[in-house]
Amino acid sequence: MRGLEDRSDALFLYVSPDSFVPAEHPLRPIRLMADKALASLSGEFDQMYSHTGRPSMPPEVLLKSLLLQILFSIRSNRLLVEQLGYNILYRWFLGVSLEERIWDHSTFSQNQERLIGTDLAAKFLQKIIEQAKEARLLSKEHFSVDGTLIEAWASIKSFQPRAQGTGKPEGTERQR
């Protein structure tokens, strides 16, 4: 028997974003490492931000957003903010509730520039790397690179046509 399509939108949602993320999802340990790294930087964030005025985007959320952007190869801030609007996994990673409104991409970019101007982003990544080393998750013996990403990120403008038979870019061979 064919079931009927039920198109009722729920008025209230009584589940947390955590219930949507499988227990073995690879982002779970990364989130724990990121939260631990951010907790160790809390004092520096306190010094960097004023205690008066309008609240800004939390630097912890901003740095974790940038980590998502790196991990999932999201090509722009605009696309990242768009995906935060509907991706439950990303909201869970950031600790943003399903009801919370996501900020505008221009707000994200302005706060990003201010934070990247300091050394806190580098310290954040370094603390995550240190935790990964302690947990023996890194290896100096080998590394892997997804060649499709390198190819996709390469700009068509970076390619130069080769001169016939020389193997060198056009215009680089000597005139005789």
Task: Give the separation between CA 163 and CA 165, rounded to whole angstroms.
Answer: 6
- Under 8 Å CB-to-CB from 67, ≥6 apart: which residues? 30, 34, 128
Q: Is the pLDDT of residue 156 over 80?
A: no
Task: Supply the pLDDT for residue 65.
Answer: 92
pLDDT, tens digit, 9 for 90 and up, residues 53-96 = 777 778 899 999 989 998 998 988 899 999 999 999 999 999 99
Name the DSSP letter for residue 72: T
Q: Residue 166: pLDDT band by 50, 70, 90 thresholds?
A: low
Residue 50 in tokens: 């004023």
Higher pLDDT, 89 or 171: 89
| Domain residue extents for the chain | 17-141
Residue 83 in tokens: 């995906």
Q: Residue 149: pLDDT band by 50, 70, 90 thresholds?
A: low
pTM of the entire structure?
0.72
pLDDT, tens digit, 9 for 90 and up, residues 105-123 = 888 888 788 777 788 888 9
Q: Is the pLDDT of residue 134 over 90?
A: yes
Residue 111 in tokens: 């706060």
Task: Give the separation between CA 144 and CA 70, rounded to whole angstroms.
Answer: 15
Distances (CA, A) of 163 to 9, 169, 176: 62, 6, 16
Residue type, 83: Q
Distances (CA, A) of 82 to 50, 68, 78, 79, 113: 29, 13, 6, 5, 19
Task: Supply the pLDDT for residue 23.
Answer: 94
Task: Give the separation between CA 41 and CA 115, rounded to whole angstroms.
Answer: 13
Average pLDDT over residues 25-51: 90
Q: In a 3-state reduction of DSSP, which class is residue 42? A: helix
Helix axes 120-134, 27-40, angle to 10 degrees: 120
Residue 101 in tokens: 């409104």
